[in-house]
Amino acid sequence: MARYTGAKCKLCRREGEKLFLRGAKCHTKKCPMEQRPYPPGIHTYRGKISEFGKRLREKQKVKRFYGVTEKQFLRYFDKAERMKGATGGNLLILLERRIDNVVHLLGWAPSRAAARQLIAHGHILLNNRRHKAGSYLVKPGDVIAVCPKEDIRKLVRQSIEECTRIGIGRPPEWVECDNEKLVARVLRHPTRSEVSVQADENLIVEFCSR
């Protein structure tokens, strides 16, 4: 399935909660979720959701939160199944380790989509080399930095200021960050409690294992 390119706010309304897909706008009263907190569409059925529907919506929420395609999501699920420990927790931790997610959590980009664009254009260095894959899973010891181009560094600093103003963009505890030099080092893997998205991973496992 191709990546969704339509209105991002419709995804939040469909899931019934904010997925923070549009950066700072999601934290203002202009967010459509504040004005229309119901699913998009003219003839929207609002009856009781089935057990299958609950599991589907939970999977869709996590997939859309991290901005991955269906094929990517299933690949992460297969990898999580082969790992030791709970499959659901492993899945969320794998998604949290994506470099585009880390760049966003650092406040260097206002959203995960903006972080992917920053990475795809070669403006992010991984271990002192240009890196263009937003799906890379960071590991302890990895060093992430913004390229030396002054216009890009200025853009990143503006993003940090904006994120700080609205109260987001604080580096996670598992990443050490120097916003003066725009350099971050991954200290360890995140734990389940440090995952950004609020989700019931058991429902996702039940859906994907059917």
CATH topology of domain 8-95+196-208: Ribosomal Protein S4 Delta 41; Chain A, domain 1 (1.10.1050)
How sure is the predictor about 165, in pLDDT bands with cuts at 50, 70 and 90? confident
147 in Cβ contact with 197 (< 8 Å): no
- pLDDT tens digits for 31-64? 555 556 656 666 555 667 788 888 888 898 898 8
Q: Is the pLDDT of residue 136 over 60?
A: yes
Nearest by Cα to 58 from 82, 84, 31, 77 = 77
136 in Cβ contact with 175 (< 8 Å): no
Q: b/e map of 25-52 (b: 16 or more CB within 10 Å)?
A: bbbeeebbbeeeeeeeeeeeeeeeeeee
The answer to whether the 8-95+196-208 and 99-189 domains have the same CATH topology is no
Our CA dihedral for 80, 108, 1, 50, rounded to 10 degrees, sits at 70
Q: b/e map of 160-186 (b: 16 or more CB within 10 Å)?
A: bebbeeeebbebbebbebebeebebeb
Could you say which architecture CATH assigns to the domain 99-189? Roll (3.10)
Please name every residue paired with 124 in a beta bridge, in sequence order, or none if there are none: 146
* pTM score, whole prediction: 0.83
Domain spans of the chain, in order of start: 8-95+196-208, 99-189
Q: Is the pLDDT of residue 149 over 90?
A: yes
**Other residues' Cβ atoms within 10 Å of the Cβ of residue 1:** 8
Say what percent of the chain tops pLDDT 90: 53
Q: pLDDT at position 1, please?
A: 44
